[in-house]
């Protein structure tokens, strides 16, 4: 089968990029001819034909970060003329690839992928909603609702990573007739050959993700002195990049000095360092306003145990996670799925995730495979007390007897292999593309 995938972005680093690389590879393993449209000029995927639409150097994104070789603008910053040029360039590229005949197609992101395939005349295609376009672009900026509506009306099947994303999509586009009826569960998968337990595990906790306010890294940094007070040999590695990195480094430096007033100033600035509104981060501010006794001393004692390791490629994440005892995914903003939590579980590292949106749905399925005393550790409520909750769960896991941790690791690895595989994801995409929705689970 000749399959077209429209992604439009890079093939490294973030969740949707990794999704498309692995999906394309799985489709090739299943015997299909795959054509992937993206903007990555360096990564090559075995057996996949990669096409780079000529967008004249202007790359619209949902969360603004620099990309070498491109002028980057957030979608709301585009003029109408720039947006139309971007759409036209991608439509032309899709038509050129489709001229050879296409038997199945996938459009990524609520905007602009589905609208591109609709305008290119692709008669039957699946749309994959990753969450970022929905939450950062369409919902806060009504200007893009017509494009989202155009794509959703044309899509044969709509895939979401979680029930939370499905409900958010339906609420954002109530005017799209039949949208709920053609929405199906289509989470990402994990390559269990790449993400697997390693040999030697360190007393290491990891974070992997974008360094932006909504990822909640500030909560993990604030929790860390409480963890170190009970586990003085534990270390924390922060892997990622983003506009909030400098503010996070200032927060860490203030904590390592025991300077809680400086830490409070970082919390008070809120979103301002990444270009947003200056308003306090509510959970961090509440914690720092009344920290536990001895917190400043514990923060000073933890100095030197946290490292920012920078942006990691996907294969480097697969090297980091098997070394870790645990991974924390503390996002305060909705996530379509808890992909990095699944990858951590595949490596035998306990994923501790915020208890909402797609992360909660992943946590529930993992918790069901674990002994109750461990299953209760994989999720924490986001709100007042979240800092303490992260610390309590990390400390409890690190304090478990080694034999209990090993049993839990084995259960995590087994659950991931049973619940999430890329070949299963690929088959689901093909079913959605041809309208065989009865083969796919409802977003329940």
In a domain, 194, yes or no: no
Check whether 120 has a pLDDT greater than 80.
yes
Q: Are residues 401 and 433 in the same domain?
A: no
Best CA proximity match to 352, nearest among 301, 398, 308: 398
Check whether 417 has a pLDDT greater than 90.
no
Rounded Cα–Cα distance for residues 146 and 167 (Å): 19
Cβ atoms of 152 and 115 within 8 Å: the answer is: no
Q: Are residues 176 and 247 in the same domain?
A: no
Res 16: pLDDT = 93
Best CA proximity match to 332, nearest among 252, 245, 218, 167: 218
Q: Are residues 229 and 367 in the same domain?
A: yes
For 142-193, how does the pLDDT look when each residue is reduced to its tens digit (9 = 90+)?
Answer: 999 999 999 999 999 999 988 989 999 999 999 999 999 999 999 888 999 9
Q: Which strand (E) or helix (H) includes residue 394?
A: helix 386-399
For 280-321, how does the pLDDT look when each residue is reduced to its tens digit (9 = 90+)?
Answer: 999 999 999 999 999 999 999 999 999 999 999 989 999 999
What pTM did the predictor assign? 0.76
For residue 411, give the DSSP letter.
H
Q: Are residues 144 and 113 in the same domain?
A: yes
Cβ atoms of 310 and 239 within 8 Å: the answer is: yes
334 vs 205, residue with greater confidence? 205
For residue 278, give the DSSP letter.
B
In a domain, 340, yes or no: yes
Token output for 12:
């490294």
Q: Are residues 243 and 332 in the same domain?
A: yes
Q: Are residues 73 and 149 in the same domain?
A: yes
Res 443: pLDDT = 87
Q: Are residues 249 and 165 in the same domain?
A: no
Q: Are residues 415 and 425 in the same domain?
A: no
Domain of 372, CATH number, reads 3.40.50.2000
Mean pLDDT of 251-255: 98
Q: Are residues 373 and 433 in the same domain?
A: no
Structural domain that includes position 45: 2-189+421-439
SS3 content of the chain, % helix, strand, coil (to 5): 50, 15, 35
- pLDDT band, residue 437 (cuts 50/70/90): very high
Q: Are residues 240 and 370 in the same domain?
A: yes
Q: Are residues 307 and 400 in the same domain?
A: yes
- pLDDT band, residue 416 (cuts 50/70/90): very high
pLDDT above 70 covers a percentage of the chain that reads 100
For 88-109, how does the pLDDT look when each residue is reduced to its tens digit (9 = 90+)?
Answer: 999 999 999 999 999 999 999 9
Q: Are residues 168 and 158 in the same domain?
A: yes
Check whether 17 has a pLDDT greater than 90.
yes
Res 199: pLDDT = 83
In a domain, 199, yes or no: no
Check whether 275 has a pLDDT greater than 90.
no
Rounded Cα–Cα distance for residues 374 and 6 (Å): 40
């Amino acid at each position: 089968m000749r399959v077209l995938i429209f992604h439009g972005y890079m093939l490294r680093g973030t969740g949707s990029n990794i999704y498309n690389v692995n999906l394309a590879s799985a489709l090739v393993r299943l015997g299909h001819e795959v054509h992937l449209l993206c903007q990555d000029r360096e990564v090559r995927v075995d057996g996949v034909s990669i096409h780079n639409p000529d967008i004249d150097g202007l790359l619209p994104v949902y969360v603004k970060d620099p990309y070498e070789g491109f002028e980057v603008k957030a979608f709301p910053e585009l003029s109408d003329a720039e947006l139309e040029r971007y759409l036209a360039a991608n439509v032309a590229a899709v038509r050129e690839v489709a001229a050879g005949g296409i038997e199945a197609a996938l459009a990524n992101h609520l905007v602009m992928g589905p609208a591109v395939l609709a305008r290119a005349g692709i008669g039957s295609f699946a749309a994959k909603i990753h969450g970022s376009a929905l939450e950062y672009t369409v919902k806060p900026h009504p200007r893009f609702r017509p494009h989202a509506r155009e794509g959703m009306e044309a899509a044969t099947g709509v895939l979401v990573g979680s029930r939370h994303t499905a409900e958010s999509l339906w609420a954002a586009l109530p005017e799209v007739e039949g949208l709920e009826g053609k929405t199906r569960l289509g989470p990402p998968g994990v390559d269990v050959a790449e993400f697997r337990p390693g040999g030697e595990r360190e007393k290491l906790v990891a974070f992997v993700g974008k360094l932006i306010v909504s990822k909640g890294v500030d909560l993990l940094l604030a929790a860390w002195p409480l963890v170190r007070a009970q586990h003085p040999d534990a270390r924390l590695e922060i892997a990622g990049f983003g506009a909030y990195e400098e503010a996070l480094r200032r927060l860490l430096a203030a904590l390592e000095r025991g300077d809680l007033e400086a830490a409070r100033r970082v919390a008070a600035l809120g979103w301002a360092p990444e270009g947003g509104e200056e308003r306090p981060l509510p959970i961090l501010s509440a914690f720092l306003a009344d920290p536990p006794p001895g917190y400043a001393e514990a923060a000073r004692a933890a100095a030197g145990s946290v490292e920012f390791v920078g942006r990691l490629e996907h294969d480097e994440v697969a090297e980091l996670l098997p070394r870790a005892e645990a991974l924390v995914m503390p996002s305060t903003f909705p996530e379509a799925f808890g992909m990095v939590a699944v990858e951590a579980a595949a490596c035998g590292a306990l994923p501790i995730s915020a208890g909402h949106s797609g992360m909660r749905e992943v946590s529930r399925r993992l918790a069901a495979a674990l002994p109750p005393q461990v299953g209760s550790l994989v999720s924490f409520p986001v709100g007042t007390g979240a800092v303490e909750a992260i610390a309590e769960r990390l400390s409890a896991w690190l304090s478990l007897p080694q034999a209990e941790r090993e049993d839990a690791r084995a259960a995590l690895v087994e659950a991931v292999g049973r619940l999430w595989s890329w070949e299963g994801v690929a088959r689901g995409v093909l079913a959605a593309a041809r309208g065989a929705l009865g083969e796919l689970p409802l977003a329940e």
